[in-house]
Structure formats: C-alpha cells, structure tokens
Amino acid sequence: MVDIVIIGAGPAGMAAAIQADECGASVMLLDEQQEQGGQIYRNVLNADTARLAVMGDDYAAGQSLASALDRPGVLRELSATVWRVDPDGTVTYSVKGVARQVIGRQIIVATGALERPVPLPGWTLPDVLTAGAAQILMKSNGLVADNAVLVGCGPLLYLLAAQMCLAGAAPKALVETQTRGDTWRSLKYGMGALRGWRTLSKGLGLIAAVRRAGVPRYKAATDVRITGTDSAEAVMFSCGGTAREIACDNVFLHQGVVPNTQISRSLGLEHRWNHRQRCFEPVVDVMGATRLERIHIAGDGAAINGAKAAELQGRVTACDVLVKLGRIDPARRHNLVRPLMRALAGQMAVRPFLDALYPPSAEILRPADDTPVCRCEEVTAGDIRNYARIGCVGPNQTKAFGRSGMGPCQGRYCGLTVTEILAKENDMSLQKIGSYRVRAPLKPVTLGELASLAETNGTPTVEEDHSHD
Amino acid sequence: MFRRLETTGGDHVEFEFDGRRIVARRGDSVAAALLAAGIKSFRTTQKSGAARGPFCMMGACFDCLVEIDGETVQACAVPVSQDLLVGRCKQVSLSPRDEQ
C-alpha cells in the first residue's frame, strides 16, 4: 500500500508526484512508456541538443520536470500497462506480461489525451499516421518523413510542420480544414486570446516559420480523402472550388486532442459533453476530485488545456489529495494552490479562442457513408447510420448490431464518431446518446497474465534505475 | 518514407521481421524500427484483408499488431532486442470471434 498511486507520467502525473513527495507522501507512479515524460515530453531525458533544437523550447522545458522526478520518495513503475482501477484504490497492471496490483490510499488518474478520431476516406491506409505519432517518431527515434502532407487543423499541426521544416523535411503541403467562418467565430474570444498572448505569438511564429519554408497551405479544404492501394499515395481535396491532388508518401492527421476517459468511464463516473471541444469530460471539481472518495483526475484526462496547464493542475490535485491523506491541512493547501490557480487561469485564457478557431471539421464529425469509423472491426459510417435506422439509439447497442467498438482498441478511435453519428441520426443530444460503456480489462490481457497476478505491496517490478543520475 | 535525422550514432541491434533481417537502433520500438526500414504494412485485417501499419504510436490504436513468441503484441510498445523474432499476425487473436 502507498499513499498515492498516480497513473500516467506526463506533465500532470509528474508534477503531482513531485508535489506529493515534497509534502512527505509515498508515491507510486505508473506509466506505459519506458521513461517518464508522457507523449508531450516523450524521450526528453535522452534527447541531445540537436534533437532539442528541432523539437523546440516547449519540448526542452520538459527536461527539468522529468529529471525532478528522480527522488527516492517516488517509486516509478515504467513499461506498466494499467488495465483495471477499482474505486477502493486497487490498481491492476502488467509489466512485460506479468500482472501486478498496488493499492493506493488515493489515486490520481493522469492519463492525458488521445488524438481525436479523424475518420476520412483512406485514414486506415498504412503510412497514414496521427500528427502525434509523427512527433513521437521524431522525439523517440529521430525519424522524419520526407514528402508528407499534413491534414486537419489545430496548433499541433503547425508545431509539427515547423519542427519538420527545422529538421530539413518540410511537409509537401498543409491541407487545413478550418474555415473563414471559424475565424470570425473565434474573434468573440479575442480578449481571452490576448491574455494568452504568449501562446498566441508562439502560434503565429510557427505559422511564419512554415510560410518561410515555402510550404503551401490550403485552407478550408473539403472532400478530403487519402488514396492508395496498399499505402497512402495521394491526398485529394477541394479548395476554393478547385479539386486538387497532392502525391505523397505519408499523411499526418490532426483534428485536436480529446481526454482519454477509459479509466474514468470504467469507474462509472459521470461524464459531461463539452460543446466547445466536442468531447466528453469526466465530471471533476476545480481540484480534480470526483464523486469517488479515492479517485482524482488531473491534466488533459479531465479537460484539454495543454501541457503547461496539466502540470499546474497536477500540483493542485496533489494538494487536495494530500489534505485527504492528512499530510497537509486545508490552510496549507490554500496557500499552495492560490498561485497555481492564478497561473492556471492564464494558461486557460487562450483555449476558447483556439477551440473556436480550430474546430473539428464537419466532414470528420459526419463522415461519408463509405468511410471506416471503427478501424478494428471495419465498420463504416453508413453501417452506423443503418443501425440507427433500425432502432439503434446508443453506442453500446452498435456493438450488438455490428461489433463497432469491440476490437482491441476498445472504442478509443471510434467512440466519439459513433456518438456524433447516432446523435444526428436519432435527433438526440450528444449527452443523451452518451458513449461506449468501458470495462476492465482496459487493454487486452492474456490468461497467463491473469494467472500471474500477485500483490506487489508498492514494490516496483524493476529495481529503481538511477542511470540518469 | 521515414529517414533518420542523425545518420550516425546509436548502438545497432539486429532483429528479424517475417524472415527479413532488420537493422535497428537500440531504444527503437519494433514499430519505429520497421518504419525506418521502409516497411509500411505490418499485417492485414481479418475482415477485409486490408493492409495496416502503425497509426498512433502510443499504444492506443492496436493497428501495429505483430506476433512475438506466439503472442499478438503492439509493435509500438515492444523495444527491439538483438535477434528478436517478429512475425506478421496470421490472425488477430484479440477478438472473441476467433475463439468461437
């Protein structure tokens, strides 16, 4: 048993672990990757100066947070896949095929974000990856793609494009889906954007860098499809009434990120539809507390606000948990949290503007009938519409109708699309339609893993590795 | 097609995919090493036989499935090791349909 089990070693989880350790709580931090950092700071401790120069300051900034985690009070259990979390604080996970359990007096879920599903024709072809995947390949492996087209919208698309330009692998084109209407709609949030001017000017800097590199940008693109037989060969789209085709070797897709709610869903927590970001969020209070006494949620897994906000939120949530553990009193929490909240407000000010400027495109929210929606079971948008026509009103029912959401990804890359389609077809609210029910195991486990289940009592599988010292 | 930013450096590791010798760098996941070697398609789907390769690279999408030691695993989640034997999935055995 440990005081706090933290799931996810991204900015929120790392910051929560450091805050908890500073206040004397015992912490076990679990993460699926081999190193702490999460996806945003992936491999940051091993990145050399050349890699850091390409990835930029925001990535390099992760080094201090990731290295600050190296402290005796924080047990790290890496390469650990969490596949069950119980309301009583029991966390079940596997490391290299061996299942283990740890009990936390308190749990902080910091599992971050997933890329929003981008169902468009051809998105299942090899050589079509998410923009996040392209970044992971750069961060972890120093791999870049020549001759790639970036499709979608949002700040990450520009960041990736700028990083590729710096790496000498400028994308062949940016095919952007945001419209002039989106620009107008975003202006009413302009004041908030001005408060977040640092974020904004960084964004403008990225766009300028992409322009300087001579990368063509096609805006308000519609009818986007990726063609190819056994891999991506071209992106086809319409722009300003002209049909275009750009030959390429890779396509990187991005339409923003959404909270990864697998654990919060599996715990039966309430989730609310966020109209601005078109995704579900678990219901938490400002400290990240849920209706379950032992469960808190911090960072992008609670609401999408970016890495810097996640780091602040991780500390805030840890402070709340520390009060529950009796490690600090409410007055100390108040003093610790107040400056964090002020900084958090600054980080979040720019969000409504960005959300309005870069909404998910209408095409991916309501894909054409022949577009695969469920990648695992190859169920199309048309299939889902047919299920609706014969009486299917909920995502769970689509499983019985045609196996959507029943493959190994367990609905991670079709859930939101199925909700959108069913809401439209049934003329019901997205909140009412809801999402897939999520049950443990959250990732497929073998019978051998189940058999190997052993209580670890807070002892990590692998001895602490101090090779970074 | 992916290429390495740094053309030198890093310990080399050799492993086998579908009978083919692949030179990777220590620290690569199997998925990254295969992409670096120019392999796009890792498997075909059960339903339509369509080719699939990595999509999310973070363990969420399960598109990069390969077979190691008789088990179906995510290529993006397994680090390469010397002489590792990696095969194409004949059948994705993660779906309950297979056991019927």
Which residues share a beta bridge with A103?
A: A90
pLDDT the model gives residue B93: 47
Q: What is the DSSP letter of B79?
A: B
Interface of B with A (CB under 8 A): 1-6, 25, 27-29, 32, 35-36, 40-42, 45, 47-48, 50-63, 65, 71, 77, 79, 92, 94-96
Helix (H, G, I), strand (E, B) or coil at A297: strand
> Residue A460 — pLDDT band, cuts 50, 70, 90?
low
Mean pLDDT of all residues in chain A? 94
CB–CB contact B1 A145 (8 Å): yes
* Contact (CB, 8 A) for B81 and B69: no
Residues of A in contact with B58 (CB under 8 A): 39, 132-133, 136
pLDDT in tens, A388-446: 999 999 999 999 999 999 999 999 999 999 999 999 999 999 999 999 999 999 999 98
Joined together, the tokens standing for residue A353 give 């503007």
DSSP letter for B65, please: E
- Say if residues A96 and A79 touch (Cβ distance below 8 Å): yes
Q: Is the pLDDT of residue A465 over 60?
A: no
Read out DSSP for B8-42? Answer: S-S-EEEEEETTEEEEEETT-BHHHHHHHTT----
pLDDT tens by residue, A72-123: 999 999 999 999 999 999 999 999 989 999 999 999 999 999 999 999 999 9
State the best of B5, B22, B93, B97 to mutate against chain A, taking most chain A CBs within 10 Å: B5
Residue A457 pLDDT exceeds 80: no
Q: How confident is the model at residue A456 (pLDDT cuts 50, 70, 90)?
A: low
Rounded to whole angstroms, how far apart are CA atoms B69 and B71? 5
Is there a contact between B27 and A46 if contact means CB atoms under 8 Å apart? yes
Q: Has residue A288 got a pLDDT over 80?
A: yes
What's the start-to-end Cα distance of chain A, in Å?
A: 27
Tokens of A440: 């443990």
Ranges of H-type helices in A24-154: 49-55, 57-60, 62-68, 131-141
Q: How far apart are CA A143 and CA B90, in angstroms?
A: 28
Chain B residues near residue A377 by CB distance under 8 angstroms: 47, 95
The complex's ipTM works out to 0.94
Q: Quickly state the pLDDT bin for A199 (edges 50, 70, 90).
A: confident
Q: Do A143 and B36 touch (CB under 8 A)?
A: yes
Q: What is the pLDDT of residue A294?
A: 98
| Planar angle of CA A172, A173, A174, nearest 5 degrees | 145
Q: Fill in the DSSP letter of residue A209.
A: H
Give which of A48, A273, A240, A286 is closest to B9, Cα–Cα.
A48
Using CA atoms, how far apart are residues B63 and B51, in angstroms rounded to an integer? 10
- What local confidence, expressed as pLDDT, does residue B90 receive? 77
Quick one: which of A77, A410, A97, A127 has its CA closest to B72?
A97
Both tokens of A213, joined, read 């590199």
Contact B1 A167 (CB under 8 A): no
Are residues A145 and B79, on separate chains, in Cβ contact within 8 Å? no
Q: Write out pLDDT tens, residues A116-143.
A: 999 999 999 999 999 999 999 999 999 9
**Residue-level pLDDT at A451:** 85
Which has the minimum average pLDDT: A34-43, A147-156, A176-185, A253-262? Answer: A176-185
- Residue whose C-alpha is closest to residue A115's, from B61, B76, B31, B64: B61
Does A129 contact B56 at a Cβ distance shorter than 8 Å?
A: yes
SS3 B68: strand
CA distance A424 to A135: 34
pLDDT of B6 over the 90 cut: no
- pLDDT the model gives residue A289: 98
> CB of A290 within 8 A of CB of A264?
yes
Which chain A residues have a beta carbon less than 8 Å from that of B25?
Answer: 141
Phi, psi of B71 (to 5 degrees): -115, 145
Angle at A205 between CA A200 and CA A208, to 5 degrees: 130
Average pLDDT, chain B: 90
**pLDDT greater than 80 at residue B76:** yes
- The average pLDDT across A312-318 equals 98
Whether the per-residue pLDDT at A277 is higher than 70: the answer is: yes
Mean pLDDT value of segment A156-174 = 97
- Determine the pLDDT at residue B91: 60
Using the CB atoms, write b or e for A273-307: b if 16+ within 10 Å.
bbeebbbbbbebeebbbbebebbbbbbbbbbbbbb
Sign of CA dihedral A288, A289, A294, A297: negative
Instruction: Please judge whether A81 and B48 are an interchain contact, meaning their C-beta atoms are less than 8 angstroms apart.
Output: no
Amino acid at A418: V
